[in-house]
A and B are shown apart, each in its own frame.
Chain A
Amino acid sequence: GAVVSQHPSRVICKSGTSVKIECRSLDFQATTMFWYRQFPKQSLMLMATSNEGSKATYEQGVEKDKFLINHASLTLSTLTVTSAHPEDSSFYICSALGYEQFFGPGTRLTVL
C-alpha cells in the first residue's frame, strides 16, 4: 500500500502553546487528506477534510479556529493545534486519499 508519514510522532508541550503536525503522502499525490483524533479506548473521530488549494471542511463540533489545517501541496497537509490545552491531548491521525484511504502512523500530543 501507499505510504503516509506524520511528523512528529509524539510531542509534549505547555498549555497555551501551538503545535504543528505534518502529514505527507510519500509515494503518491493526494488532493484530499483527512484528519482524525482518537482518545484512549475510543474510536477515531473525523475532524476535517483537507483539500489541496482550498479551505478545509470541518466536521460538526470541531473548532476551525483552534485546529488550523493547511493543504498547500499535493503531498503535504498540516494541522496546527492553537493555544493547546490539556483536553487537546490525544492521538492525531491523518490519512491521504489515493485509490484507497491510507493512514499515517499518528502523532501523540500531550499538553501539560
Chain B
Amino acid sequence: DTEVTQTPKHLVMGMTNKKSLKCEQHMGHRAMYWYKQKAKKPPELMFVYSYEKLSINESVPSRFSPECPNSSLLNLHLHALQPEDSALYLCASSQDQGDTYNSPLHFGNGTRLTVT
C-alpha cells in the first residue's frame, strides 16, 4: 500500500461547487506535488511545494488553488471547474525537491474527479 494517502478516492462535483482534495504523508518528506492525469496519458505537473512554500506553478488556472498547511499535508481547492477538468489527480512526495535523483517520488492512488 502507498505511504501517501489521498482523500476522497472519487469525487463528483458540479461546475458551481467548491470542493477540496486532500493528501497526507508521514515519511518526513519536504517536497509535495500535485499532478493531473488523463486516461492512458502521463501525469502532468501542476504544483510543487518545497518546505511548505509554493515553488512551481505550471500556469494552472486559478480555479485550482493549492494549499500546504504543514509539511505533512497538501490540499487542492477546487472551484468553478469545467468538465474537461475531469481526471485522476495524483499527489506525490519526495525527500527534497532538489534531490529528486536520490529520492524518488512516492505517489498516492489519486482522486478520480468527475465534473458534471
A is bound by B? no
Binding site for A on B (CB under 8 A): none
